[in-house]
Structure 1
Amino acid sequence: MTADHPTLGVIIRGIRNKNGWTLKEMSAKTGIPVSTLSKVEHDRLTLTYDKLQQLSRRLNISMSELFAENRPAPERQVMGRRSVGTIEQALRVETPNYDYFYLCTDLRHKRMIPILTRIRAKSTKEFGELVHHQGEEFIFVIEGAIEVHTEFYDPIVVREQQSIYIDSTMAHAYLVADGCEEALVLGVCSSEEQGLMDSLIKNVHGEPGL
């Protein structure tokens, strides 16, 4: 992994080194055990979404910095980009309605955000208010079936091996279709504007101000 494409471990170690903290001192400031921080810095462990929130709040940094999305671009123009990821390396976000696995988080300034999502919500009442954010998104159903609710269209069922592409600024929600307990989908959110990850964090995960 190069310095141009830092992992979460590289970013956290950089924050610690920049402030001249030992692992013990950073643990005291963040409330995260020394052993956990050490494993994260050596890319042997990732942090849950709750722990990332805790770290960002206690260190007074934005969540986007931890996603490697909001750092200055290198002066040298890179002609090719590549990221090979696994589910173990994905950044996991757990919510009552979904489990999100953000893939290829080592690449920054992305215009596409790939997300593997396990969907559990079964009704709009359970889901709550429909969400919206900048850009567009593509959803491919890997397992099960989903019911897609959008601001301007009637609900539609998208089944296994089917896909849907929508304007993300239109309020929307993905629910489990009747007859399914869960559904697994691969989604790709895209935007020509910067700050897509911040937009997702704020509007999808309900974390304003990060």
Structure 2
Amino acid sequence: MPSPVSSSAAPTLGLLLRGLRARNGWTLKEMSARSGIPVSTLSKVEHDRLTLTYDKLQQLSRRLGMRMSELFAEDGDEGEAPVTARRSIGDLAHSVRVETPNYDYLYLCTELRRKRMIPVLAKVRARTLDQFGPLVRHAGEEYFFVVSGRVVVHTEFYDPVTLDTGQSMYIDSTMGHAYLVADGCDEAEILGVMASGDDELMRSLLDIHEEQRLRSAAMPAL
């Protein structure tokens, strides 16, 4: 006889939005008016039939007067036992998408909270460090595999390295790093996993994207 599905499944984005709306006593129509996102879209998200792009998550958090990372926060439970037997099937249609002129990140398995491994599929288009901006640093370590194209990896303490399709690298993420597309490629695609003992790694990564967005918005147009 099949084992019953646990009733303590990790909350989805839809469940988190319903909780946010309930805590504030808003109807779907009121939340739509506050966020600028149509009622039909919010309803589909709340019923886990649709996800939101990174831009829509930014819009939602900005209009509601909160940091985007707070959408992924859970109430603490000091007496909670360690989570076991978790699983999640990756689905690009339900990924959290970060789309910018220089790269696209598709964060996978985002319904699992407090992950210590963050899987992400990234499309790299930045060609220079000027385009990319300051080197990125965050807690933990990361591994990535070049799915297509060629990638130039810049790190704080090593000379740049060019990786071809099928090659990979493992680095300390606290070391400044940047991934650029190599000459001769319009775009490169990498599959990566970022890991940390910090339960708030996903929140930290989203905060980095928000800082990059603000920095890009402040730069004068060429």
- TM-score scaled by structure 1? 0.90
CA distance in 1, matches of 2:210, 2:196: 18
1:180 paired residue among 179, 185, 198: 185
- For the pair 1:113 / 2:118, whether they are aligned, the reply is yes
Partners of 1:10 and 1:197 lie apart in 2 by 18
Are the counterparts in 2 of residues 137 and 166 from structure 1 also a CA contact under 8 Å? yes
Shift of 1:3: 5.0
1-structure distance, mates of 2:19, 2:80: 19
| Structure 1 counterpart of 2:161 | 156
Q: Unpaired segments of 5 or more residues in structure 1?
A: none
Return the offset for 1:56. 1.6
Rg: which structure is higher? 2
Q: Distance in 2 between matches of 1:151 and 1:38?
A: 45
Cα distance in 2 for partners of 1:167, 1:77 equals 26
> CA separation in 2, counterparts of 1:65 and 1:203?
14
Specify the SS of the correspondent of 2:93.
coil
Q: 1:90 — aligned with what?
A: 95
| Unaligned residue ranges in structure 2 (runs of 5+) | 215-222
How far apart, CA to CA, are the structure 2 residues paired with 1:123 and 1:148?
11
Preserved contact between residue 65 and residue 71 of structure 1 (Cα < 8 Å): no
Contact 1:136/1:169 (<8 A) preserved: yes
Q: What is the identity, as a one-letter code, of the residue corresponding to 1:66?
A: L
- How far has the Cα of 1:71 moved from its partner? 3.8
Q: Which residues in structure 2 correspond to 1:189-208 (within 5 Å)?
A: 189-206=194-211
C-alpha contact 1:137 1:168 (8 A) present in aligned 2: yes
**Partner of residue 72 from structure 1, selected from 76, 86, 94:** 76
1:167 alignment partner in structure 2? 172
Which structure has more helix as a fraction of its residues?
2
Q: Tell me, what secondary structure is at the counterpart of 2:122?
A: strand
Q: Is the 8 A contact 1:118 1:185 kept in 2?
A: yes
The secondary structure found in structure 1 opposite 2:41 is: helix
Residue 126 (structure 1) aligned to one of 127, 131, 134: 131
Partner of 1:57: 62
- Cα distance in 1 for residues equivalent to 2:155 and 2:24: 46
Q: Distance in 2 between matches of 1:91 and 1:181?
A: 23
TM-score, scaled to structure 2: 0.86
Secondary structure at 1:140 match in 2? strand
Q: State the aligned residue count.
A: 208
Partner of 1:104: 109
1:185/1:30 CA distance change after superposition, 3 Å:
same
* Bigger shift: residues 124-133 or 114-123: 124-133
